[in-house]
């Protein structure tokens, strides 16, 4: 862990402690809290409380076949919920705390509410690096189920205001930690015996995984929708989206990259990590602009650019 708090704004720093205790109490009594992580804002609840989990699905309008990621403070905690063998341990030790979700077989004595895993015999676990979320896990003593804090199928929130504009009257208490650092949902990797399979592209890149594990992951033989994040129309703004556009039409809001400035440039320097952190803000901005459509400049398809293009393709579908 970097130990850096630089993505927490001054406001959060000032009232952080008190807010974390209040949030922990709310979670312990079965309530929901929107929390910042290094990826996007999550809608958190006690993963062992069935009615709190039902409230997450209701608030998001999330289909009940779409399982939730459970957040834990460390690998020891993760082992109470899922079975970690050699490769799973290697992944956790290599990338936790951080934006990697690991799908492993559910532990036989796992205490999470059945709805969390949507009936699957596997469980998705992540140890987040964000200091606010880490502290909340420790202070509450809970394992927190937390999908993105937005209506199902829409663009994920990367600032507190996005949570409010997506959830409206159903918005719970929000721990405001400022803008999320990665700005794109976690990479999801499933452990398949001696091998691994990427179920969702994210901030931990294919290159990162190959370097750390020392081999390439397996790809599915057929298009099996195991992770609903793989559904094509997901992460969608309300307006039509056109990709790889160097020159936009007059009715389009142009999201730029590098030398193509557009109305909003994801990264003038052409930095992919910076572009990822600005992607959802750009989509929210484009969606609420007076333009009727969205055009996006070409983004390189390597490193974290893969995750960016993955989200853009879904937004355009
Ligand atoms: P979200 O929390 O909105 O980022 O979505 C969580 C993603 O994790 C969804 O696409 C889920 O389908 C995926 N997920 C959660 N649990 C599992 C699991 N046991 N196996 C495969 N994917 C999972
Ligand atoms: Mg989501």
pLDDT tens digits along 10-59: 444 445 788 999 999 999 999 999 999 999 999 999 999 999 999 999 99
pLDDT for 205-223, tens place per residue? 999 999 999 988 887 643 4
- Which of 60, 185, 228 best tests ligand 1's pocket when mutated (most atoms within 8 Å of CB)? 228
User: In sequence order, what E strands does 230-269 have?
Assistant: 241-242, 252-256, 264-265
The H or E element that residue 185 is part of is none
What's the pLDDT at 222?
39
pLDDT digits (tens, 9 = 90+) for 126-179: 999 999 999 999 999 999 999 999 999 889 999 999 999 999 999 999 999 999
Centre of ligand 2 to C-alpha 259, Å, is 31
Q: How confident is the model at residue 9 (pLDDT cuts 50, 70, 90)?
A: very low
CA 113 to chain centre: 21
* Neighbouring-strand partners of residue 257: 260
Walk across the sheet containing 42-46 and list its strands.
173-174, 33-35, 42-46, 144-145, 69-71, 122-126, 100-105, 187-192, 195-200
Q: Name 118's Cβ contacts closer than 8 Å, sequence gap at least 6.
A: 64, 65, 66, 67, 68
Longest CA–CA separation in the chain, Å: 58
Write down the pTM of the prediction: 0.90
Cis-peptide, bond into residue 97, ω within 30° of zero: yes
**Rounded to an integer, what distance in angstroms lies between the CA atom of residue 67 and that of residue 174?**
22
Atom of ligand 1 nearest to the CA of 69: 15
Report whether 267 contacts 257 (CB < 8 A): yes
Q: What is the pLDDT of residue 236?
A: 75
């Amino acid at each position: 862990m970097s130990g850096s708090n630089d993505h927490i704004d001054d406001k959060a720093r000032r009232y952080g402690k008190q807010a974390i205790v209040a949030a922990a109490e709310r979670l312990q009594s079965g309530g929901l809290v929107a929390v910042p992580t290094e990826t996007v804002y999550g809608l958190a609840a006690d993963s062992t409380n069935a009615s709190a989990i039902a409230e997450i699905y209701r608030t998001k309008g999330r289909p009940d076949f779409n399982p939730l990621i459970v957040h834990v403070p460390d690998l020891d905690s993760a082992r109470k919920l899922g079975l970690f063998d050699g490769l799973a341990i290697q992944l956790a030790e290599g990338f936790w705390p951080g934006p990697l979700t690991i799908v492993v077989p559910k532990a036989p004595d796992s205490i999470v509410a059945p709805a969390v895993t949507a009936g699957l015999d596997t469980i998705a676990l992540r140890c987040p690096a964000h200091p606010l979320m880490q502290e909340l896990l420790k202070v509450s003593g809970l394992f927190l189920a937390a999908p993105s804090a937005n209506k199902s199928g829409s663009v994920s929130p990367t600032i507190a205001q996005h949570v409010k504009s997506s959830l409206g009257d159903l918005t719970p208490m929000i721990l405001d930690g400022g803008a999320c650092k990665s700005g794109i949902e976690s990479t999801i990797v499933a452990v398949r015996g001696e091998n691994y399979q990427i179920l969702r592209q994210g901030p931990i890149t294919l290159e990162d995984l190959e370097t750390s594990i020392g081999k390439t992951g397996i790809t599915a033989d057929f298009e099996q929708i195991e992770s609903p994040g793989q559904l094509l129309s997901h992460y969608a703004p309300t307006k039509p989206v056109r990709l790889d556009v160097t020159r936009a039409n007059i009715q389009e809001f142009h999201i730029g990259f590098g030398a193509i400035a557009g109305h909003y440039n994801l990264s003038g320097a052409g930095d992919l990590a910076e572009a990822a952190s600005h992607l959802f803000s750009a989509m929210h901005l484009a969606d609420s602009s007076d333009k009727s459509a969205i055009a996006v400049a070409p983004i390189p398809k390597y490193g974290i650019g893969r995750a960016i293009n993955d989200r853009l393709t879904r937004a355009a579908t």
